[in-house]
């Protein structure tokens, strides 16, 4: 093998000029992309990170922003600050197409050449072919989503305070969370805590404790990826907190003010969608083989077959474990894949053979309301307060930035001791809040109009 070429286990070769520094482009600064960029910090390469946002977002705690437990700045950190001082430049841009043959990433501001490409754009909310449900049931993938959900939840209590019709008031105080996975379970438990512990004495005409929180799940049980005994304990805890768990209830329609399921309709003005995710639409731009979920089928080294210079990590990659089971879209998976892709790039630059990816299972966790969680880690199955402590420590450890860790620890300690949540702010004008979801102006549009 010549110094200018490095063979790939996926077939083909990556031809490089040994006298030129390799150009690596990373699309997406989530867990996978950020991990790859940091692992390439000392490589003989220039790294360009492209993202539509200027911040890295800790998505596992988005539900706490949506339920006023944390402020947005507690779970987000500027990408430039994370990668500052390295051989890396950050571009705030959006990828519109990718030319694999010409090795170019095309953005809204032009084309960027690469020698290696790492695709880590993450996932989008899936409504299973019913995108028309989105305005009435926002998902939870961005800070904007979280703030919109927070606004709807808090505004429902405000409207109920002034509502004189009992039926309308009951609908306003009914909150529906669709999807019984970890996000849905955590959302339902957090909304219950708000109504029964946090704002219980803030209103005079209503009793927030009368709020109805319904967790709707299409399958026979919640937390299907967890051990069944843990799922049962989580459901019991939810029900103890006042959450109504509706199983075997696939959603048939989400309309203005009502959710229709196979087990009946539920009137509600605050609906949260936590039922599914789909691969980023970027996969369809590649022209390569995808699985049924729209993810890219990658080789053992995480590269695209036929294009050994292109790696796909995180939610966009179809990767299975040793048992043939598809790896879930979790932060530990994306982090390990991002680091592994970076290592294989370095090995290629050094003229070494690539290594196949092996996932080290870090376990699964979900918190249920106040000081209760379930966790399965390395064969151990934990529940209750001990699991909640483990869940808290793990999430703090994964947070980017020392200030974020300190602030989250402070906010959690304060909320635990006082039942207070300091981020209970409703943004936007009253007119926009009362408007139909389809006609409501997005925050950026309203801001732009105000500046003009």
Q: Is the dihedral of CA 132, 135, 137, 141 positive or negative?
A: positive
Task: Identify the three-state secondary structure at position 263.
Answer: coil
DSSP for 356-383 reads: --------EEEE-STT-EEEEETTEEEE
How many helices and strands in the chain, by DSSP H and E?
A: 12, 27
Q: Are 327 and 321 in contact (CB under 8 A)?
A: yes
- Rounded to whole angstroms, how far apart are CA atoms 187 and 241? 13
Burial category of 288 from C-beta neighbours within 10 Å (exposed 0-12, middle 13-18, buried 19 and up): middle
Q: What domains does the chain contain, in order, with CATH numbers?
A: 5-52+93-125+278-349 (3.50.50.60), 131-275+363-434 (3.50.50.100)
Q: Name the E strands within 16-125.
A: 22-27, 45-51, 55-57, 76-78, 88-92, 95-99, 104-107, 110-113, 116-119, 123-125
Global pTM value? 0.86
- Rounded to whole angstroms, how far apart are CA atoms 198 and 211? 13
**pLDDT per residue as tens digits for the range 126-164:** 999 999 999 999 999 999 999 999 999 999 999 999 999
Instruction: Reply yes or no on whether the pLDDT at 214 is more than 60.
Output: yes
Among residues 144, 163, 186, 193, the one annotated as catalytic is: 186
DSSP for 56-85 reads: EE-GGGHHHHHTTSS-GGGSEEEHHHHHTT
**pLDDT per residue as tens digits for the range 374-420:** 999 878 999 999 998 898 888 887 777 666 777 777 776 666 656 66
| Cα separations in angstroms, 144 against 78, 281, 404 | 16, 20, 19
Residue 213: closest CA among 153, 135, 148, 132:
153
- Rounded to whole angstroms, how far apart are CA atoms 344 and 406? 35
- Rounded to whole angstroms, how far apart are CA atoms 87 and 40? 8
Q: Where is mean pLDDT largest: 5-9, 19-23, 199-203, 424-428? A: 199-203
- Rounded to whole angstroms, how far apart are CA atoms 370 and 241? 9
Residue 216: closest CA among 248, 183, 256, 173:
248
Q: Are 273 and 178 in contact (CB under 8 A)?
A: yes
Helix H or strand E encompassing 144 = helix 143-162
- Rounded to whole angstroms, how far apart are CA atoms 9 and 1? 14
pLDDT at 411: 72
CA 208 to chain centre: 29
Has 132 been annotated as catalytic?
no
Average pLDDT of the residues of the chain:
87
> Percent helix, strand and coil across the chain, each rounded to 5?
35, 25, 40
Helix H or strand E encompassing 390 = helix 385-398
User: What would the mean pLDDT of 32-52 be, rounded to a whole number?
Assistant: 94
Residue 186 in tokens:
């955590």
- Rounded to whole angstroms, how far apart are CA atoms 122 and 83? 19
Instruction: Return the residue matching tokens 């299972």.
Output: 361
**pLDDT per residue as tens digits for the range 247-302:** 999 999 999 999 999 999 999 999 999 998 888 889 988 999 999 888 999 999 99
Residue 361: closest CA among 225, 229, 232, 230:
225
Instruction: Reply yes or no on whether the pLDDT at 84 is more than 80.
Output: no
Q: Extract long-range pairs of 350-356: CB within 8 Å, 24+ residues apart.
A: 350/6, 351/1, 351/3, 351/6, 352/6, 353/7, 353/9, 354/8, 354/9, 354/10, 354/301, 354/303, 355/301, 356/9, 356/300, 356/301
Instruction: Return the residue matching tokens 């927070």.
Output: 150
Instruction: Reply yes or no on whether the pLDDT at 448 is more than 90.
Output: no
């Amino acid at each position: 093998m010549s110094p200018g070429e490095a063979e790939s286990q996926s077939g083909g070769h990556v031809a490089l000029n040994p006298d030129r520094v390799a150009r690596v482009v990373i699309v997406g600064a989530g867990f996978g992309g950020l991990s790859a960029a940091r692992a390439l910090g000392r490589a003989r390469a220039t790294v360009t990170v492209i993202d539509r946002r200027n911040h890295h977002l800790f998505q596992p705690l988005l539900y706490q922003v949506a339920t006023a437990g944390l402020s947005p700045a507690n779970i987000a950190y500027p990408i430039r600050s994370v990668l500052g001082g390295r051989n890396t430049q950050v571009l705030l841009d959006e990828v519109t197409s990718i030319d694999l043959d010409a090795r170019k990433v095309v953005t809204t501001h032009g084309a960027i050449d690469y020698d290696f490409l790492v695709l880590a754009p993450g996932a989008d909310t899936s409504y299973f072919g019913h995108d028309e449900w989105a305005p009435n049931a926002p998902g939870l993938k961005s800070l904007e989503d979280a703030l919109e959900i927070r606004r709807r939840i808090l505004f429902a209590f405000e409207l109920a305070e002034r509502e004189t019709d009992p039926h309308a008031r009951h609908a306003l105080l009914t909150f529906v969370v669709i999807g019984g996975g970890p996000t849905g379970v955590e959302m339902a438990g957090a909304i219950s805590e708000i109504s029964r512990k946090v704002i219980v004495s803030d209103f005079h005409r209503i009793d927030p404790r009368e709020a109805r929180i319904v967790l709707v799940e299409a399958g026979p049980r919640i937390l299907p990826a967890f051990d069944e005994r843990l799922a049962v304990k989580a459901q019991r805890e939810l029900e103890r907190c006042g959450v109504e768990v509706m199983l075997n209830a696939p959603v048939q329609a989400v309309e203005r003010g009502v959710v229709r399921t196979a087990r009946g309709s539920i009137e509600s003005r605050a609906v949260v969608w936590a039922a599914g995710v789909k691969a980023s639409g970027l996969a369809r731009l590649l022209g390569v083989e995808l699985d049924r979920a729209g993810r890219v089928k990658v080789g053992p080294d995480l590269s695209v077959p036929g294009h050994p210079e292109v790696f796909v990590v995180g939610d966009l990659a179809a990767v299975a474990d040793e048992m043939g089971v598809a790896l879930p879209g979790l932060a530990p998976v994306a982090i390990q894949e991002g680091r592994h892709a970076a290592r294989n790039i370095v090995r290629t630059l050094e003229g070494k053979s690539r290594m196949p990816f092996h996932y080290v299972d870090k376990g699964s966790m979900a918190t249920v309301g106040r000081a209760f969680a379930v966790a399965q880690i390395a064969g151990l199955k934990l529940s209750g307060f001990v699991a909640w402590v483990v869940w808290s420590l793990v999430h703090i450890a994964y947070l980017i930035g020392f200030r974020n860790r300190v602030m989250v620890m402070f906010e959690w300690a304060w909320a635990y001791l006082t039942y207070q949540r300091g981020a209970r702010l409703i943004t936007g004008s009253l007119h926009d809040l009362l408007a139909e979801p389809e006609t409501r102006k997005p925050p950026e549009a309203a801001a732009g109009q105000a500046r003009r």
